[in-house]
């Protein structure tokens, strides 16, 4: 369900809200809603508000395509029977892109209790309905204060730079592993938990332009990352956070996509999983396989009572695995330091 909401505190058009009750097929066996389900709802809300805004003035009809999702933390688990309320608001526009900020709140409809579960920032690019390779201009929004525009521009430049850096790292390959002989591999090694999923892109996965919805891709990525995490620790696992997700290239209807995930780092209570999406455009034989999306997912292990459990240490065997482990450790320590700084700042206020 989608409905216009009241105008929020930001400078953009009126916010929208998408709400849906969480069903058993949205959750794992412990009743916790999959992170991919929430990511898909976040993307749907972002796509609605950005497409609506980009068509708000006379001009070429277009559809907003997801280009990037900034890091998002899953602040608390959502359960079957709760209602997910996803609100989206446009907070910055450049000439060819739209920044959308999304908040997710879970609601217990029996008690009325509400809690914030996610906050996310997404970037969209409007593509012409007549020519999918043409990026149309975005109508500007009005800012309440000059500082809001300056801060938005700074975020825009930062994400642009990060996207370039990520693209340079994309030569890395995870060889698909569909049904490996795990008996030959040691538990808690990268090879033991590494997993892949192959998916044929159908019409229900796609936008009006015939390309995959970003939310569909993120849901599949979360499924693969969840399988890797579950194989590593053999407990109930939930998504704790997702690092920036970069959509490097569009995926066309009829393509076969391979979503591959591998463990890169473990701390005492968390696991980092790298996920790649590679596309084989069988409908366009002139083009070979290419890297479409990449991201890092972080998972935690929970007991039956929902309490955090220790995570088995990842056993690295090759030099590449050791290098990726150290890089993951660096990201983990950086995130931890940033979170502690935010907590100190909040305490001072």
CB 324 within 8 A of CB 274: yes
pLDDT tier at 10, thresholds 50, 70, 90: very low
Cα separation, 115 vs 106, in Å, equals 5
From 28, 73, 162, 280, active-site residue: 28
Q: What is the pLDDT of residue 9?
A: 42
Residue 222 annotated among the catalytic residues of the structure: yes
* 151, 186, 211, 302 from 234: Cα distances, Å: 43, 14, 35, 10
* 90, 166, 321 from 169: Cα distances, Å: 30, 5, 15
pLDDT tens by residue, 104-138: 999 999 999 999 999 999 999 999 999 988 999 99
Per-residue pLDDT for 176 more than 90? no
pLDDT tier at 321, thresholds 50, 70, 90: very high
Q: What is the CA radius of gyration of the chain?
A: 20
Q: Name, of 25-29, 164-168, 221-225, 341-345, the range with top average pLDDT.
A: 221-225
Tokens of 145: 């204060």
Residue 264 makes CB contacts below 8 A (sequence gap 6+) with: 190, 272, 273, 274, 296, 314, 324, 325, 327, 328
pLDDT tier at 13, thresholds 50, 70, 90: low
Q: What is the pLDDT of residue 132?
A: 86
Closest CA to 74 of 44, 104, 46: 104
From 222, 243, 246, 278, active-site residue: 222
Q: What is the pLDDT of residue 328?
A: 96
Cα separation, 90 vs 45, in Å, equals 11
Residue 46 makes CB contacts below 8 A (sequence gap 6+) with: 64, 66, 88, 100, 102, 122, 124
Relative orientation angle of helices 214-233 and 35-54, to the nearest 10 degrees: 160
Q: What is the pTM of this model?
A: 0.89
39: Cα within 13 Å, side-chain hemisphere: 30
pLDDT tier at 219, thresholds 50, 70, 90: very high
Residue 28 annotated among the catalytic residues of the structure: yes
Q: What is the pLDDT of residue 183?
A: 63
């Amino acid at each position: 369900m989608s409905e216009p909401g009241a105008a929020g505190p930001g400078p953009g058009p009126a916010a929208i809200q998408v709400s849906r009750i969480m069903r058993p097929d949205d959750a794992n066996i412990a009743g916790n809603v999959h992170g991919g389900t929430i990511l898909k709802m976040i993307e749907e809300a972002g796509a609605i508000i950005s497409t609506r805004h980009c068509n708000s003035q006379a001009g070429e009809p277009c559809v907003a395509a997801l280009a990037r999702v900034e890091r998002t933390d899953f602040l608390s688990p959502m359960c079957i029977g709760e209602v997910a309320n996803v609100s989206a608001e446009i907070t910055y526009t450049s000439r060819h892109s739209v920044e959308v900020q999304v908040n997710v709140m879970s609601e217990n409809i029996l008690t009325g209790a509400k809690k914030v579960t996610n906050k996310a920032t997404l970037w969209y690019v409007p593509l012409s309905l007549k020519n999918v390779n043409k990026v149309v201009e975005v109508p500007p929004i009005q800012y309440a204060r000059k500082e809001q525009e300056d801060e938005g521009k700074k975020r825009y430049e930062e994400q642009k730079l990060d996207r370039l850096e990520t693209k340079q790292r994309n030569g890395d390959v995870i060889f698909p592993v569909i049904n490996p002989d795990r008996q030959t591999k040691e538990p808690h090694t990268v090879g033991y938990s590494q997993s892949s999923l192959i998916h044929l892109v159908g019409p229900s996965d796609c936008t009006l332009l015939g390309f995959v919805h970003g939310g569909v891709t993120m849901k599949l990525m979360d499924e693969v990352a969840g399988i890797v995490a579950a194989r590593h620790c053999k407990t109930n696992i939930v998504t704790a956070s997702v690092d920036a997700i970069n959509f490097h290239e569009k995926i066309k209807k009829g393509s076969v996509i391979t979503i591959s995930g591998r463990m890169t780092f473990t701390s005492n209570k968390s696991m980092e999983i790298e996920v790649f999406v590679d596309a084989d455009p069988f409908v366009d034989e002139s083009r070979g396989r290419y890297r479409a999306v990449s991201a890092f997912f972080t998972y935690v292990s929970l007991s039956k009572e929902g309490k955090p459990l220790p995570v088995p240490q990842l056993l690295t065997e090759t030099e590449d695995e050791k290098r990726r482990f150290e890089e993951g450790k660096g990201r983990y320590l950086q995130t931890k330091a940033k979170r502690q700084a935010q907590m100190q700042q909040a305490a001072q206020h």
